[in-house]
Amino acid sequence: MSLLELRKLNKHFGGLHVTNAVDLTLEAGEIHCLIGPNGAGKSTLFRLILGEHHPGSGDVLFAGENITALKSFARIRRGLSVKFQVPGVFKGLSVRQNLEIALQSRHRGRELEAEIDRLLVFLGLESEQAQSAGNLSHGQKQWLEIGMAISLKPSLLLLDEPTAGMSPEETHLTGEMVQRLNAGGMTVLAIEHDMAFVRQVAQRVTVLHLGQVFAQGSIDEIVADERVAAIYLGQAHA
């Protein structure tokens, strides 16, 4: 059964048609990358999936249930989780407390502390745990938010540009982490501009352009597609 199904999702911002009848199906267990030029509507599509925006028309189905009318928190509780494009950590709180807030609905007491410690090690943020999250580097904030997102043990993880601001080594590590999570049964949908990352993890790729699904296939098919190259080149010329 498909885990996520988007049916003819339309969203307008005033006169701008940001997503245009987007159909997208995600199979349980896959790593799917969403690429496309700036302004293609990728982040907006995430917000439609999460219920932060509501589509003008179309449906969002998750695990067979139509969740189009559900509030965001209710969708999260059904097994969705997200790392936003702009890291949304709790800046004024310590790194440790950030993770505690993400983990506390699943764990209590000693078990909670142990779980936080484990995650801090996993993220490589042990020595930063007492710092305010606002003082972290951009890359560290990305890691922290990924950590918060995976704390919820989601069945579908949405990552909006997870490697922005990371070095190639860090990007590769992030890719390995995504693959590890996926091996544990997590389905992943990642928006990414870094093609090395896409090549590393993607099992299927969808290209979004001007709010429409432009192409879909394996990474090799997408790279070989001249039309895809053209829209990226077109952007490079612009």
Partner 1 sequence: MSGLVSFFRRLEGPQTVGRGPAFWSLFAVVMMIALAYPLFSDGYTVGNTVYFFVWVFIALSLCLIWGYGGSLSFGQTAFFGIAGYGYGILTLNFGSAYGFTLVALVAAVAIAAFFAALLGYFMFFGRIAGVFLGIVTLAVTLMLERFMAQTAGPEWHIGSARLNGFNGMSAMPPLTIPWPGEPIVLFADVGLYYFVLGLLVFVYLALRILMNSSFGNVIVAIRENPERAEMLGYDVRKYQLITFVIGAALAGISGVLYTAWGQYITPSSMGMTAAALPLIWVAVGGRSDLTSTVVGTLVVLAAFQALTIYGSQYALVFMGVLLVLTVLIAPNGLVLGTMNWLGRLAARLSQRAG
Number of residues that bind partner 1 (CB under 8 A): 27
Q: Which is nearer to partner 1, 8 or 71 (CB)?
A: 71
Q: How far is the CB of 183 from Mg ion (least distance, A)?
A: 27
| 91 contact, one of ligand ATP, Mg ion, partner 1, none, CB 5-8 Å limit per kind | partner 1
Judged by CB under 8 A, does residue 73 bind partner 1?
A: yes
Burial profile 80-107: b = 16 or more Cβ within 10 angstroms, e = fewer: bbbbbbebebbeeebbbbbbbebbeeee
Judged by CB under 8 A, does residue 128 bind partner 1?
A: no
Please name which of 92, 136, 101, 135 lies closest in space to residue 119, comparing C-alpha atoms: 101
Judged by CB under 8 A, does residue 104 bind partner 1?
A: yes
Judged by CB under 8 A, does residue 54 bind partner 1?
A: no
Judged by CB under 8 A, does residue 110 bind partner 1?
A: no
Task: Give CA–CA dist 47/81, Å, rounded.
Answer: 12
Q: How far is the CB of 164 from partner 1 (least distance, A)?
A: 17
Give residues 12-71 in contact with ligand ATP (rule: CB under 6 A): 13, 16, 18, 36, 38-44
Judged by CB under 8 A, does residue 100 bind partner 1?
A: yes
Element (H, E) at 109: helix 109-123
Judged by CB under 8 A, does residue 44 bind partner 1?
A: no
Judged by CB under 8 A, does residue 118 bind partner 1?
A: no
| Phi-psi domain of 101 (left: phi exceeds 0; alpha: psi -120 through 50; beta: other) | alpha
Judged by CB under 8 A, does residue 210 bind partner 1?
A: no
Name every residue whose Cβ is closer than 8 Å to that of residue 110 and which is 6 or more positions away in sequence. Answer: none
| Phi-psi domain of 39 (left: phi exceeds 0; alpha: psi -120 through 50; beta: other) | left
Single residue of 20, 25, 85, 179 touching Mg ion by CB under 5 A = 85
- The two tokens of residue 175 are 């890719």
Where along the sequence are the contacts to ligand ATP (CB under 6 A)?
Answer: 13, 16, 18, 36, 38-44, 85
